[in-house]
Amino acid sequence: MFKTIGNTIRWIGQHFMGMLFLLIAFVVLMPSGTTQIKTANLQEIKLSGPILSAENILKEIKSAQNNKNIKGVLLNVDSPGGSVPPSIEIAYAIKELKTHKPVIAYASGTMASGSYYSSIYANKIIANPGAIIGSIGVIMESANIEELMHRLGVKTQIVKQGTYKEAGTPTREWTPQERKELETLTKDTYELFVSDVAKARGLKVEKAKIYADAHIFSAKRAKEAGLIDEIGVISKAKMNLIELAKIKKPEWKKKDKLESFVEKLTAKSIMQLHTYFYGLKATL
């Protein structure tokens, strides 16, 4: 009998990971008590974590745009920002989506820098009373590990063509010419950011020091600066969307459990990678 028990314990130990995977898959894929039978007419799209790529959210936006049953979209934002190009891609995708159906952007946590850029073309921006808004600015940074390399006895060898090919290198202090080149790049990006915000929000570029300049606002101050339209919780944002979409019987699109599970897992992984790896690039 003890031999049988021992074999059983040994078998469980050998197959534990497989059993755990099957258990997770069962929980994720198990159908909920109620199945969505009614056709969805509203959709929530989440923009969470650092913006490193726009690929997945652009697919969601395009899908919502092409779905004739979807009459309105809620963009739920909780992101500190990220890379410039994907932030702009999302902003212009929302701008295009708005020509087909109403879009409400809701700041559920942080709507700053690149994530604010992504939201500017929504019909309305509504922020949670405790949300952080703004940080309209651009940053480019890199560590200077020259002294560390010297202590370790490590030297770099470089062959290059182009005066500014080493601009931003972490292996030494930047030259005045390199710094000026990078400052020009960040200035151009900042001016584009401010210009788009001003156009989208009906603000004046010459007053950018008030609402831009990387100021970080509470929801109250963001409203005073003209960066958001209203302050309220998510139920208020949803009611605003229902009214704009002229929906009498709202039915929100539900994601299947596997999709939601993978999305959460991916967002967490991206956040961890962003924490450990930070290269030289213009970041909103």
48, 83, 113, 135: which is the annotated catalytic residue? 113
Distance of CA 124 to the CA centre of its chain: 18
State yes or no: is 113 an active-site residue: yes
Encode burial over 111-144: b for 16+ CB neighbours within 10 A, e otherwise. bbbbbbbbbbbbbbbbbbeebbbbbbbbeeebee
| CA 114 – CA 82 distance, rounded (Å) | 5
Distance of CA 251 to the CA centre of its chain: 25
For 217, phi then psi, to 5°, come to -110, 150
Gap between the terminal Cα atoms of the chain:
66
165, 187, 220, 264: which is the annotated catalytic residue? 165
Cα torsion for 78, 79, 84, 87, to the nearest 10°? -20
> Catalytic residues, which ones?
113, 165
